[in-house]
Amino acid sequence: MIVVGISAAGRTALQLAGRAPSRVSKLILQNAVTGGRFPTGLTRVMAYLLFNPFIEAGTWAAFRAFARVAPRAAFRGMMASLTCLDPNQVIATMSRDQQQAALAFLLTSRSGSGFLHDIHHQCGDLRRITAPTLILESTYDGSKDPCHATYARDQIANAELFLSPAESHLFWFSSYDREIRAKCKRSCNPEREAIFPDVFSGFRRFFPVVGTGHTCPASSGLCLESQWACAG
């Protein structure tokens, strides 16, 4: 199968590829957490305070309530943690459809206990991974340190790092999404290339993006779609 590891679930994908190398034909990491401590400092403390299983429902409910009253301010506040750039600048680069789609995705998000599980996971010994690995990294991802991408590149024998100029962690909602998808297709063998777009078909039922053709993978858990596995 082809395994796609997204964001904080990158370690889950890496463990799967390392523990069952004969089952994984390709590994794709998208702005993924790999080795090292994540998150760090105050962000880690806030994660325990706001996203523990007893509080996280209220955290997301408060965000949704705020977004109903002031959607642009809520989106800007969330984007501030996802980019190294001025969030107003990032939002300005997005089309209206992309802005609405990204906000819709954030409004449907819930983490349960998944995010805390993610930050406790370890990626394991990446030298066990034998599958060809494509590492997709946004240059201006503000959610984590870029060393996560370079660590995976240096530890996995057959790895390629592709740096995208995408302005934030949410590169699915940027003008570079088409380029990133094309890179994924080219990295897969011909039999897989034809089915690559379908890896997201299951997620479209939950995160439809009207008028843009963009979709963003779901968060938390390991989802199977055809002969793909998506950890995100």
17-40 residue pLDDT tens: 999 999 999 999 999 999 877 777
Q: CA angle, 129 as apex, 124 and 132 as ends, to 5°?
A: 140
Report pLDDT digits (tens) over 94-151. Answer: 999 999 999 998 888 877 777 777 777 889 999 999 999 999 999 999 989 999 999 9
228-231 and 222-225 beta bridge pairing: antiparallel
13 pLDDT higher than 60: yes
Q: Which two tokens stand for residue 53?
A: 């299983």
- CA-to-CA distance for 43 and 41, rounded, in angstroms? 5
Q: Which two tokens stand for residue 206?
A: 């939950």
Residues 155-161 have a mean pLDDT of 97
What is the pLDDT at residue 191? 53
Cα angle at 56 between 230 and 171, to 5 degrees? Answer: 40
Residue ranges and CATH numbers for the domains of the chain are 2-231 (3.40.50.1820)
Percent of the chain's residues with pLDDT above 90: 56
- Nearest Cα to Cα of residue 24 among 15, 37, 34: 15
Q: Lowest-pLDDT range, 45-59, 90-104, 165-179?
A: 45-59
Omega within 30 of 0 (cis) for the link into 39: yes
